[in-house]
């Protein structure tokens, strides 16, 4: 007997959205327009919005990083974008005057400008710290494990008894420092019995990926808890013997003299390989701890442009072996020219030379000119001491860039000044390309041209020239500041 078959007519469903097609649900970045911005923005506790223009080069560069960050933040922070060329009303309402502009919204209200990194990792870390409570309540061991099994360090307060100032101070510190560190708390000491916890305390868990045999992964704080004391404790113990330096934390690490091993480090995809070289650096670091030098490791690809510009490292230099540098707080730089050996002996020799003062600092410099006959003397980093710091000469030094239009405009006036003073044996008019040469300490060059006067007897206190850039103005300045009377070619009416 044949089975009965019931036939239903084909049905086509058409879902009509009350909003224009500008709203896209296909991607993790929500596209918003004037009509739906207020309605949809209020649905999200935290939203990072990019205001952009399609023709903007910086916007195009940011776009793939923004998409990656949106995927990683999905479920906690909504990322959205507004095209200001077609939705100018919304952009004008929030004071957008340049592209891209990033703003943080909370339930649809403009909360704060986004001033963090513009890499996917940087946006992920920055925004994740701005969601949820200041300190997470841990109730179970699974809660604890999930919290500490993180890319960053974890600070956990344990407060088993009622009352007392400890919990209050801890939560105040968490509210104040949440953008820098991760906080959680619990009243159950059994959750942390493996760490020997039996009373009120604070524990700092270093990231699991950085676990090693040279130091403890957990540090316990048992002193009187105040915001200041907790901040000091975190600062002194968070990074450990050899932290992972990133583009986001480099400024925090570089407040100290810092040795860094740059190599193909990738803690997302190759923890074991990344720690292979780190452990060899740490073995040496453990022998030199307490001598004022901090150690770190970093992904060479993340810092390649910096290494090329500041240390002359080519894209193919170093191979798979770590490239070792030291950068001091005062700006001195050193590189290890010997190949990094797996037993660490080459690194130890490098450090012995550094601490004994035998190590020659690295200076990025053009070649010293074989001939320098022009009235304006060409100075490079390697010749700076000989020319500018000559104890018997007053020196006016211009720091310039070859591509700077203001420098090109100044050039004829500066050459005329040099010719005017050419016969004066006591003064030198000089210039240095500050892009291709390291600028010495004591000279703050943030733009071009920047001009300093280095007088006899005060070489450690150069004077920045802030006057007009005409011949007469330069001569008046030099007449006032020079250690000896000027000897001019031509008429003295210039003065």
pLDDT, mean of each 10-residue run, the chain (495 residues): 41 41 59 92 92 93 94 90 94 92 91 88 86 88 92 92 83 85 91 87 94 93 90 91 91 93 93 95 94 96 90 68 93 92 95 95 92 95 95 96 94 96 95 93 92 95 95 96 87 43
Backbone φ, ψ for residue 108 (5° rounding): 85, -5
Domains of the chain plus CATH, in order, are: 29-128 (3.40.30.10), 136-237 (3.40.30.10), 256-356 (3.40.30.10), 377-494 (3.40.30.10)
Distance CA 203, CA 195 (A): 9
Residues contacting 473, CB < 8 A, separation 6+: 467
* Per-residue tokens: 108: 């649809």
Closest Cα partner for 328 from 259, 410, 233?
A: 259
Is there a contact between 297 and 278 (Cβ–Cβ < 8 Å)? yes
**H or E element that contains 451:** strand 450-454
Helix 271-288 × helix 345-356 angle, to 10°: 40
Query: Residue 319 has what pLDDT?
Result: 67
Closest Cα partner for 130 from 82, 166, 85, 182?
A: 182
CA 380 to chain centre: 28
For this structure, is 201 an active site residue?
no
Pairing of strands 323-327, 333-335: antiparallel
* Per-residue tokens: 486: 């000027």
Q: What is the dihedral of CA 274, 280, 283, 284, to 10 degrees?
A: -120
Query: Residue 20 has what pLDDT?
Result: 43
For this structure, is 56 an active site residue?
yes
Cβ of 307: how many Cβ atoms within 10 Å?
23
**CA distances for 453 relative to 378, 395, 463, 484, angstroms:** 15, 6, 5, 14
Per-residue b or e along 4-28, where b marks 16 or more CB atoms closer than 10 Å to that residue's CB: eeeeeeeeeeeeeeeeeebbeeeeb
Distance CA 338, CA 359 (A): 12
Closest Cα partner for 50 from 94, 20, 18, 19?
A: 94
Query: Residue 60 has what pLDDT?
Result: 94
Scanning 295-439, the segments in alpha helix (DSSP H) are 304-311, 345-356, 384-387, 405-420
Q: What is the dihedral of CA 40, 44, 47, 50, to 10 degrees?
A: -10
DSSP helix/strand/coil, 425: coil
Residues contacting 386, CB < 8 A, separation 6+: none
Query: Residue 21 has what pLDDT?
Result: 38
**Beta bridge partners of residue 428, listed in sequence order:** 395
Distance CA 258, CA 276 (A): 20
Per-residue b or e along 367-380, where b marks 16 or more CB atoms closer than 10 Å to that residue's CB: eeeeeeeeebbbbb
Cβ of 365: how many Cβ atoms within 10 Å?
18
Is there a contact between 243 and 253 (Cβ–Cβ < 8 Å)? yes
Cβ of 474: how many Cβ atoms within 10 Å?
25
Distance CA 414, CA 432 (A): 13
Distance CA 207, CA 292 (A): 24
Report the greatest alpha carbon distance in the chain.
124
- Which pLDDT tens digit goes with each residue over 415-453? 999 999 999 999 999 999 999 999 998 899 999 999 999
Query: Residue 374 has what pLDDT?
Result: 94
Which of 59, 84, 91, 242 is catalytic? The answer is 59
Q: What is the dihedral of CA 132, 138, 143, 148, to 10 degrees?
A: 80
Query: Residue 166 has what pLDDT?
Result: 85
């Amino acid at each position: 007997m044949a089975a009965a078959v019931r036939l239903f007519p084909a049905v086509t469903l058409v879902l009509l959205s009350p909003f224009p097609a500008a709203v896209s649900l296909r991607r993790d970045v929500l596209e918003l327009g004037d009509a739906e911005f207020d309605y949809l923005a209020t649905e999200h506790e935290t939203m990072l919005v990019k205001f952009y223009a399609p023709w903007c080069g910086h916007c195009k560069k940011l776009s793939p990083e923004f998409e990656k960050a949106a995927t990683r933040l999905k479920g906690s922070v909504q990322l959205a974008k507004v095209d200001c060329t077609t939705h100018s009303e919304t952009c004008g309402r929030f004071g957008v005057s340049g592209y891209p502009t990033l703003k943080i919204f909370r339930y649809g209200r403009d909360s704060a400008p986004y001033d963090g990194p513009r890499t996917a990792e940087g946006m992920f870390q920055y925004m994740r710290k701005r969601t949820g409570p200041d300190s997470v309540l841990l109730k179970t061991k699974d809660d604890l494990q999930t919290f500490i099994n993180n890319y960053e360090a974890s600070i956990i307060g344990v407060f088993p008894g009622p009352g007392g100032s400890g919990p209050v101070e801890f939560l105040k510190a968490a509210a104040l420092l949440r953008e820098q560190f991760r906080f959680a708390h619990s009243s159950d000491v059994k959750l942390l019995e493996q760490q020997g916890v039996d009373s009120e305390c604070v524990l700092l868990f270093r990231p699991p990926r950085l676990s090693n045999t040279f130091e403890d992964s957990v540090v316990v704080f048992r002193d009187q808890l105040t915001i200041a004391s907790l901040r000091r404790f975190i600062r002194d113990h968070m990074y450990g013997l050899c932290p992972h330096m990133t583009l986001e934390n480099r400024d925090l690490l570089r407040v100290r003299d810092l040795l860094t091993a740059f190599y193909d480090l990738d803690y997302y995809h190759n923890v074991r390989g990344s720690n292979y070289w780190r452990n060899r650096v740490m073995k040496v670091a453990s022998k030199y701890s307490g001598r004022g030098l901090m150690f770190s490791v970093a992904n060479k690809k993340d810092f390649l442009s910096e290494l090329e510009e500041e240390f002359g490292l080519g894209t193919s230099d170093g191979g798979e072996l770590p490239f070792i540098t030291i950068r001091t707080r005062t700006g001195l730089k050193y590189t290890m020219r010997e190949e990094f050996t797996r037993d660490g002996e080459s690194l130890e020799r490098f450090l012995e030379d550094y601490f004994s003062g035998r190590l020659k600092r690295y200076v990025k410099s053009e070649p010293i000119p074989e001939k320098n006959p022009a009235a304006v003397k060409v100075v490079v980093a390697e010749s700076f001491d000989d020319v500018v710091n000559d104890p018997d000469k007053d020196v006016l030094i211009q720091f310039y860039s070859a591509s700077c239009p203001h420098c090109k405009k100044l050039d004829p006036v500066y050459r005329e000044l040099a010719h005017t003073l050419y016969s004066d044996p006591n003064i030198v008019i000089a210039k240095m390309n500050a892009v291709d040469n390291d600028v010495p300490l004591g000279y703050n060059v943030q733009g071009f041209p920047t001009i300093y006067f280095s007088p006899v007897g005060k070489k450690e206190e150069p004077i920045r020239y802030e006057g007009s850039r005409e011949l007469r103005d330069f001569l008046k300045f030099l007449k006032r500041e020079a250690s000896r009377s000027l000897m001019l070619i031509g008429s003295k009416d210039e003065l």
